[in-house]
Structure 1
Amino acid sequence: MIKLNSLQYKNDGDLEISNDLSLQTLSNNDVFERLEKEFLSKYSFENLSTFSFCKDGFLGLLLQLGKKGKIAISVGETQALFEAGKTYESLGFELIWIELEKNGQVNKEQIKEASADFVFISSYVMDTFVKTNLEEIKALSSAVIISNASADFCQDSDAVYFDSYKLTGFSTSSVLLFNKELFEEKSFGFIDSIAVNTVFKALENQSFENDLQEEFKSKLEEVFSENIYFFVDYKDTLSYTLHFALKDIKAREMIRTLGLDEIHITNGEGCSLGLSKPSRIIQAMGYDELTSRNALSLTFCEKLDSKTIEKIAKTFAKKYRQIKVLNEQ
C-alpha cells in the first residue's frame, strides 16, 4: 500500500487506553500531569485543553472569543471551523472572513485592514497546503493568531490546535494549546486525556519526506503532458506535498480507481475516500465547482525511490486514460 494522502487520512494509529490516564479528583494524576507538562514544554505554551473537532466544538471557541473582541477567519482553514463561522454569523454575531487570492495565497491586505483581535489562520491552507508566513501576518496585524498545527507547527502562533483524526485515524478530541486566559478553563473531568496522549505520541512519530516533491511533479508532467495543470505554484506549498489537477475527469474517479491498486490519494479535506464533494478551497480561490473537481493532492511521508515514483506516475496515467475512455462511451 502506498499512502499519498496521510495529511488528510492517516488511519494507522494505535489508540491507547490506560487506567493511568484516568483523571481522578482525589488523586495526584501524576501520569497525565507529566504528559501535559511535556506537551506544553514541547510547543512552549502555558495551558492545555481539549475540544470536539467539529462545527459545534469550534463554535464554542468562537463564542468564548466573541466576548473579548473581533474575530477573523481565513477561508483556507478546516471545514469544521468554516462551518462554525457560518453558524456564528447566523446567530447574529459579526465575523470577518479573510479570502484567498487566485494563486492560493491568503489575502494579506484584508488581514491588515480587518483590525481583528483574534484571527484563525494557519501556516498552511487546507487542501492545497500553500504556505502562509505567520511572521509576516504578525507584522500586519496585532491579532492573536490561532492555528491548526496538525501538518505544520509555527512558533509565531499564539495558540494552536491539533486535529486528532488527521494525526491518529481516531475521532477523539482535538488538543488546544494556548497562553494566559485566552480560553476558559475546563473542568478537570472534561479533559480528554486519551486524546492528549494519542495526539502527543502521533506528533512525536510524525515525519515527512521533503525531497520527493520535484521528482513527482516532473514524472507526472512527463506522463500527462498537456493533461496536467496546477492551481498553485508547488514552490509555495509545504515541501512534502504536491497539488495538481487533471483535465476532463473528476478527482473522485482517480481516487477510487487508484484505491483498487492500493495507492491512496486525496482531492481535499473530507474527500480522500472519493466522495462527491469538490474542494471548497479551490472554489474560494475563484474557480467554478466543475473545475474544482479536477484537483488532486499528494503527501509524502515515506521514502520512495525513482523506480517506484515512475511506476506510480505510469499507473496514474493508465487509470486516467481508462477513465476517459469509459466517460466517452
Structure 2
Amino acid sequence: MRLDFIQNYPLNLQANEILFSNIYPNLSPIDPKDYAQHKQDIEEFSDFFGGREAYSFGFLCTDWFFLLEQIAKNGLIAYGISNHQQGYQACKLLGNFPYKLIPDSQSGKIEIDSIKKAIMNKCRCFIVPFVNEDILSINDIVSIQMLLQEELKDYILIIDISLAQSFQYPIPKILNSHTLFLLNGESIGLLRAHGSIIAKDFAYPFLFPPNLSNPMVFKALNQGVKNPLQVSYQDSKKLFYSCLKESLGDDLSLFVPLENTLPNSLPLRFASIKARNFLQALLLHKIYAINGQECLYGLTRPSFVLQEMGYTQLQARELISVSYRHLEDMKNLCEILKDIYLQIRLLEI
C-alpha cells in the first residue's frame, strides 16, 4: 500500500517510452518536419495549461540555481520555502538566501499578509508552490496574483503546479506576461530531470534556461498530463482521520487543517515518535510512507518545511506526510497504524 502517492508518483511507462523513442539524441538540424513536430508538441503541452510556449526545466539544483541567479540580477526574490527540495538547496548556494515566504503555522498556507510584507521589503519576484511540499496545503495563487497586479507595475510570479497536477487538481489558467508555471515531470510519471517552464507572452525571456533537452520531452509530457493515473474522486481524508483519531485520541493531530489540503492528503502528527522508526515498522506490512522530501530522497533528515515554519527537529520528526489514490480497507489500515504507534511508544524508541 502506498501512502506517498503524490510525493512519489508512479512512473508512466508510456510517457517514458516516448522519451526514449528516438534512435538519435538530436533532431536533424535541417529537416523542417522534425522541427515542425517539436513545435507542435510544445504548443499542445503549453495549451493544456493555458500557455503558448514551454521550455525544458529539469528541477535539479543546477536548474533552480540558474533560474534564481538570473532573477537575483534583476530584483529581490521572495521565495516560498515550501517549494521543491532542490530549489531550497539552490537558495543556499546563492550569496544571500532570498526573502522567505513561510506557510502560516495555523493555516499551513502562504498567506496574503506575507506577500504584502515581501512587497514592503522591495521584493519583485515571487516563487510560490500551488501546493506546499510535505504539509500538502494549497496556496491561493489567484489572490496572490491579484495582489501583485494591484500593488506592483513590474513583478514576476513563478508557480510550481507539480503536486496539484499529480492529483489532477484544477489549476487556474492565470498565465500572463508576468506569470510562469513550473511542472516537474517526475510528478506526472516521467523520469527525473524532465520538467518544464510554461509561459504565455512572458515579458522577461532572459529567465528561460538555455538547456539542451531531450527532443521528445514535450511529447512525453503531453502523454503524462493527458493520460494520467486514475485517482479516486471521493475525498476520504476526513473519514480516514476520524477513524485514526478514534483509536489514538490526543496522540494524533494535524500539522495543517484538512480543509486546506489536497484531496486524500493528510499531514499527520503522531506525538512523541521518530518518523524513521514508524516508517520502518510500516514496511513490514508493505506500507510505504514518508516524513518529507528529505526522507523521500534518502537524506534521513526531518521535514525542512516544518523546521522553517518554526518547529524543532524533534517536532518535525512527528510528521507522516500521507497522500493516497484510494484506500481499499481503511479500518484495517487504521488498526495497523494504531498498533505500530502504540508499540513504538511502549518501547520508547
What secondary structure is seen at the aligned counterpart in 2 of 1:112?
helix
Residue of structure 1 equivalent to 2:174: 156
| Cα drift, residue 206 of structure 1 | 4.4
Maintained 8 Å contact 1:9/1:169: no
Residue of structure 1 equivalent to 2:167: none
Residue of structure 2 equivalent to 1:203: 225
2:81 pairs with one of 59, 65, 75: 75
| Cα drift, residue 146 of structure 1 | 0.8
Residue of structure 2 equivalent to 1:168: 189
Task: State TM-score, norm by structure 2.
Answer: 0.83
Residue of structure 1 equivalent to 2:6: 7
Summarize deviations over 1:264-318 as a string: whole Å, max 9, x none. 112111323775210111112211110110001111223x34xx01111111112
Maintained 8 Å contact 1:268/1:296: yes
| Cα drift, residue 207 of structure 1 | 4.2
- Cα–Cα, structure 1 residues 273 and 37, in superposed 2: closer, same or farther, change >3 Å? closer
1:290 pairs with one of 308, 314, 325: 314
| Cα drift, residue 99 of structure 1 | 2.4
Summarize deviations over 1:180-205 as a string: whole Å, max 9, x none. 35334566x81333433333322221
Report the residue type matching 1:139 in the other structure: M
Residue of structure 1 equivalent to 2:146: 139
- Cα–Cα, structure 1 residues 163 and 37, in superposed 2: closer, same or farther, change >3 Å? same
Residue of structure 2 equivalent to 1:190: 212
Write the distance in 2 (CA, Å) between the matches of 1:31 and 1:256. 47
What secondary structure is seen at the aligned counterpart in 2 of 1:3?
coil
1:99 pairs with one of 88, 98, 102: 102
Residue of structure 2 equivalent to 1:319: 340
- Cα–Cα, structure 1 residues 49 and 31, in superposed 2: closer, same or farther, change >3 Å? same
2:269 pairs with one of 236, 241, 245: 245
Matched, 1:219 2:218: no
Q: How many residues of Structure 1 are paired with residues of Structure 2 in the alignment?
A: 320
Report the residue type matching 2:28 in the other structure: Q
Write the distance in 2 (CA, Å) between the matches of 1:154 and 1:207. 21
Matched, 1:65 2:71: yes
Residue of structure 2 equivalent to 1:18: 21
* Unmatched 5+ stretches in structure 1: none
What secondary structure is seen at the aligned counterpart in 1 of 2:279?
helix
Summarize deviations over 1:102-123 as a string: whole Å, max 9, x none. 2222142231132332210022
- Cα–Cα, structure 1 residues 118 and 275, in superposed 2: closer, same or farther, change >3 Å? closer
Q: Which moved more, 1:34-43 or 1:270-279?
A: 270-279
Maintained 8 Å contact 1:172/1:195: no
Report the residue type matching 2:30 in the other structure: L
| Cα drift, residue 259 of structure 1 | 2.1
2:331 pairs with one of 307, 310, 322: 310
Write the distance in 2 (CA, Å) between the matches of 1:182 and 1:81. 20
| Cα drift, residue 254 of structure 1 | 1.9
Write the distance in 1 (CA, Å) between the matches of 2:297 and 2:65. 27
Q: Which moved more, 1:66-75 or 1:115-124?
A: 66-75
What secondary structure is seen at the aligned counterpart in 2 of 1:132?
coil
Percent identity reads: 20
| Cα drift, residue 228 of structure 1 | 0.6
Q: Which moved more, 1:218-227 or 1:64-73?
A: 64-73
Maintained 8 Å contact 2:7/2:163: no
CA RMSD of aligned residues (A): 2.4
Task: State TM-score, norm by structure 1.
Answer: 0.88
Report the residue type matching 1:192 in the other structure: N
Maintained 8 Å contact 1:5/1:272: no
Write the distance in 1 (CA, Å) between the matches of 2:264 and 2:109. 18
| Cα drift, residue 71 of structure 1 | 2.0
What secondary structure is seen at the aligned counterpart in 1 of 2:320?
strand
| Cα drift, residue 9 of structure 1 | 1.0
What secondary structure is seen at the aligned counterpart in 1 of 2:95?
helix
* Unmatched 5+ stretches in structure 2: 150-154, 165-170
Write the distance in 2 (CA, Å) between the matches of 1:36 and 1:58. 21
